[in-house]
């Protein structure tokens, strides 16, 4: 019986009812009266909270095994590739080659920049303000700056960028803290599996605590414009970054995964690659978002990647889609979207046997995501 099993939630509910009945029947007993009353009231309250937490967990699939709940990595964590179809680009139908030179014959892709590798651990995660010239928003963001950025030999070099988005109710702190982007990206660069790149982690909810879904709400916050147009321009004004679409990718977890796919499809002139980790692909509205679309059915479709991937022409995009198998809703959404991606777009679908819908599952696959961006951004 796992923590997301409805039977487990039912058992907790039965125990809650049982302790409540016991308290009612024994309330006037004189023996150990005060201690007994305090104990049963406390136990009933704890069980009630556990029932609520268990119901939410069963509904959302956050923790699907006891190992997940206790933070113990399962024995078989590695994500397995379900299928991989590179983006088709150019008259010869071949995927574009990364600009970095590769060392061949070593069994895996290695990038040869010794500057990048030697300076990898000198990276920094710094806080900046990104001004939106279109939206007028002025929000704080975290920026991962690779070690070789400050090397004198690289002063004319412009770096590719990946924009990183969080789930809800996450913040820009999600990637530098919970997902430890510096640790994983440093290691990818140090070992030569990825070239030096910049990662920007912006504020994605202009009107917190409301969840913007990273969209331009009808008559409301213009989160998509800020993230897809203002952020790239503001970052380019402060850092030496690529400004062409082949030099920009976007990635996210959970709601951020939805944001990544949706922004890439709505702004393919800005992004060429999107990674969705346990994301969904159909626009939602609930009590956390408010009425984003004001009854405008077309606006909602335009912000549903599952619909737009089939119905809207766009520049070729590459998608990396990940989910865990034991989070059934995530798995279904990932497989359905990946199967809908058709040439000239490319797609890589990977799944882990377990892990649920939590940070522990995403940090396991994070290095593979960076490997994928290394191959994709050119």
Map residue 285 onto helix, strand or coil: coil
Decide: 241 and 233 in contact? Cβ < 8 Å.
no
Q: Is the dihedral of CA 305, 307, 312, 313 positive or negative?
A: positive
Question: In 24-40, which positions are buried (b, 16+ CB within 10 angstroms) versus exposed (e)?
Answer: eeeeeeeeeeeebeeeb
Is the CB of residue 360 less than 8 Å from the CB of residue 251?
Answer: no
Distance from the Cα of residue 150 to its chain's centroid: 28
* Residue pLDDT, tens place only, 89-140: 543 344 444 434 333 333 344 555 899 999 999 999 999 999 999 999 999 9
Q: Which residue(s) pair with 351 in the sheet?
A: 80, 323
Mean pLDDT, rounded, of the chain: 87
- In this predicted structure, what is the pLDDT of residue 110? 53
List pLDDT tens digits, range 156-180.
Answer: 999 999 999 999 988 899 999 999 9
Q: What is residue 143's predicted lDDT score, i.e. its pLDDT? A: 98
Tell me, what's the pLDDT at 109? 44
């Amino acid at each position: 019986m796992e923590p997301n099993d409805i039977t487990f939630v039912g058992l907790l509910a039965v125990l809650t009812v049982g302790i409540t009945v016991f308290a009612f029947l024994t309330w006037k007993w004189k023996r150990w009266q005060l201690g007994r009353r305090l104990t049963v009231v406390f136990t009933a309250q704890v069980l009630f909270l556990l029932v609520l937490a268990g119901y939410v967990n069963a509904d959302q699939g956050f923790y699907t095994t006891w190992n997940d709940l206790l933070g113990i990595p399962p024995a078989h964590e590695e994500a397995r590739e379900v299928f991989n179809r590179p983006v088709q680009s150019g008259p010869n139908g071949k995927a574009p080659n990364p600009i970095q030179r590769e060392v061949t014959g070593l069994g895996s892709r290695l990038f040869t920049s010794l500057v990048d590798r030697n300076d990898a651990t000198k990276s920094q995660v710094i806080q900046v303000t990104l001004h939106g010239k279109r939206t007028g928003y002025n929000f704080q963001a975290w920026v991962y700056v690779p070690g070789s950025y400050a090397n004198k030999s690289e002063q004319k070099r412009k770096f590719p960028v990946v924009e990183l988005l969080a789930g809800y109710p996450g913040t820009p702190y999600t990637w530098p803290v919970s997902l430890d982007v510096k640790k994983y990206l440093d290691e990818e660069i140090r070992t030569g599996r990825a070239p030096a790149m910049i990662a920007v982690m912006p504020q994605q909810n202009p009107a917190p605590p409301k969840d913007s879904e990273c969209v331009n709400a009808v008559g409301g916050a213009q989160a998509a414009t800020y993230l897809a147009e203002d952020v790239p321009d503001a970052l380019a004004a402060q850092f030496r970054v690529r400004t062409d679409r082949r030099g920009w990718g976007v990635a996210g977890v959970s709601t951020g995964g939805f944001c990544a796919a949706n922004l890439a499809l709505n702004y393919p002139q800005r992004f060429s690659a999107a990674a969705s980790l346990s994301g969904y692909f159909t626009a939602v509205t609930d009590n956390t978002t408010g009425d984003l679309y004001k009854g405008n059915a077309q606006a909602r479709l335009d912000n549903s990647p599952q619909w737009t991937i089939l119905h809207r022409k766009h520049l070729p995009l590459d998608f990396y889609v990940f989910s865990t198998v034991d989070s059934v809703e995530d798995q279904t959404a990932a497989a359905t979207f990946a199967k809908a991606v058709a040439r000239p777009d490319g797609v890589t679908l990977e799944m882990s046997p377990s892990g649920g819908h939590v940070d522990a599952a995403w940090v396991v696959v994070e290095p593979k995501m960076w490997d994928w961006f290394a191959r994709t951004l050119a």
